[in-house]
Structure 1
């Protein structure tokens, strides 16, 4: 048993090493430009801070800018290396697939990347402007907002990654349906459990505030509905053949 697993373990180790090497290269590249990346990341917050007088982004520890730069580089490195990571994931599972299924690698990498970026863009351009402004206004005009840069980067990165992962649902559903592993009936029967899981994921992947959790749970519910439609198109549940209702003729004696 262990001998049979050794080739798979060696293959997994090889794929993980390649992912780490590429990720490290992008991490170093992002670290060089961390200030420019931070300016882009902080733009939604800076716009929201305009509603609060004398508000600004601050740091309170001597080493905070350095560790913030590391956080930014880790986050940006993951984004930039995502297509390569998806490729390595598919390459690892490809030996267990049929030849026609192996050819799905390009659509998998392309649409996996597109949907991840779409989820992150939804967070950046839709959720952040409304959410940040609402959260800052909640403090009232009698308070001055001075968010710490390290806390903001963690908040930003967690939401971006959460929305990016959440938007992968239709892509995962398409390929599972293409491989014959799920049908539209499977997703419909699982819907009641999916709703509970979606709200749990929204609570885990987002900061502990109601707006962020609802902002993630709502599109996830919509994406689950879209996933059912995708599964119905790609791999619909086959109806069981019905027995003929026509009365049998009596045999003549």
Structure 2
């Protein structure tokens, strides 16, 4: 067997081991949370339940839905809790193949993107849901009694979590584009009007057809784009100053 084949197989073995460790971490957390699966779903449903009329509850139209939906929510919660372990396993697999400067950039980006994604989910849960559900409840006809289906609610929540989590990744995307030289800061500034229009188009497609939820997604997207430009500009200035200092040292010698 050639050296290249041995290296490839060793990488596959390491990848398998890393994946198994990540899956084991998620499974352990899931098993620990499973006795409280119904409570986990009740926690997720709190923003909706606060806006429903007194004494109204959600409904489950499927036979096994009352069991499987809380299990899905618990699995999602287990993945979020075990996310540091999952990301560490991914980083430990990729890091040996990176240069030193790539490792210095990669780890802060991984940590930053994780924190920003969780912040997006938290912003959606604590602020957006309450505002949107209250707005929708005000427009509901008095002749009906809202009774959302728990499976449809879960699907809606997951879509919104993903949308806001990815929206909060905009600064990371902007910094990566600048650091890799794909686009300059000047070009990003010039593209600002198109980004604003694109943000509102994306918000109109992803969010429910109401103005409030669209604004709550589009406005943070625009602000985070500006934040990414500011951070990228600061990083570029630091890099230029460090380069100048290195040149001065070389010239002094």
**CA-atom RMSD in angstroms:** 3.3
| Matched positions, count | 234
Corresponding residue for 1:40? 43
Corresponding residue for 2:234? 233
| Contact 1:170–1:226 (Cα < 8 Å) also in 2 | yes
Corresponding residue for 1:59? 60
2:229, 2:125 → 1: CA distance?
27
Q: Which runs of 5+ in 1 are unaligned?
A: 239-253
| Contact 2:168–2:221 (Cα < 8 Å) also in 1 | yes
Corresponding residue for 2:221? 220
More deviation in 220-229 or 210-219? 210-219
Return the offset for 1:177: 4.6
Closer/same/farther in 2, CA of residues 35 and 131 from structure 1, 3 Å limit: same
Q: How does the TM-score come out when normalised to structure 2?
A: 0.75
Do residues 86 (structure 1) and 63 (structure 2) align? no
Closer/same/farther in 2, CA of residues 193 and 157 from structure 1, 3 Å limit: same
Return the offset for 1:130: 1.0
Return the offset for 1:12: 4.7
More helix by share: 2
2:185, 2:21 → 1: CA distance?
36
Return the offset for 1:31: 2.7
| Contact 1:53–1:144 (Cα < 8 Å) also in 2 | no
Do residues 21 (structure 1) and 21 (structure 2) align? no
| Contact 2:40–2:70 (Cα < 8 Å) also in 1 | no
Q: Which runs of 5+ in 2 are unaligned?
A: 241-253
Return the offset for 1:144: 0.5
Corresponding residue for 1:139? 140
